[in-house]
Amino acid sequence: MAHVRKQIRDKVADLLKAEVSLVKRRVYTTRVHPLNETNLPAISVYTGTETSQRLQAGVTERIREDRVEIDCYVRETSSFDDDVDAIAVQVEEAMAGNFTLDGLAKFTVLTSTQIQFDGEADQILGVAKLTYSVQYVTPINDVETAK
């Protein structure tokens, strides 16, 4: 098995591959993936900051809150805003339809969306960055098992 954080990342990617038809299964579980004309539009799923604390005094479980980032990339065109919004609709509906991620999480909620341009690639890309807060519980001595 793997850390529950990786299991969550993989579950989100699998969910988006199945439900976000506009990216044609181009969903990557890394923030470092070369994007070009042949693999756009695309989605990158990765985790950011995670906090944790004991569930309650005397209990050997930790409640964790992870920040899952979902970056939706499209070509920069005059329809960029409409294109990223259309992908965001599919992402948000997919995530809302499985907010426990098949039992890995207690809840998953969208906390922010940023729409911007990324000019660091070979081409200018439009990006919608959707940030989700994912709360999950693990035993204090077993980070590979969600409770």
Output the pTM of the full model: 0.92
* 115 in a structural domain: no
* 40 in a structural domain: yes
The enclosing domain of 81 has a CATH number of 3.30.2000.10
From CA 35, how far away is CA 33, in angstroms rounded?
6
Number of domains in the chain: 1
* 144 in a structural domain: no
* 146 in a structural domain: no
* 122 in a structural domain: no
The 3-state DSSP class for residue 50 equals strand
Write out pLDDT tens, residues 51-102.
999 877 677 899 999 999 999 999 888 888 899 999 999 999 999 999 999 9
* 125 in a structural domain: no
**Tokens 């805003």 -> residue:** 81
In order, the DSSP letters of 98-123 are TTTTTTT-SEEEEEEEEEEEE-SSSS
* 116 in a structural domain: no
Domain of residue 76, residue span: 4-108+130-139
Write out pLDDT tens, residues 103-139.
999 999 999 999 998 766 567 888 999 999 999 999 9
pLDDT band per the 50, 70, 90 thresholds, residue 38: confident
* 75 in a structural domain: yes
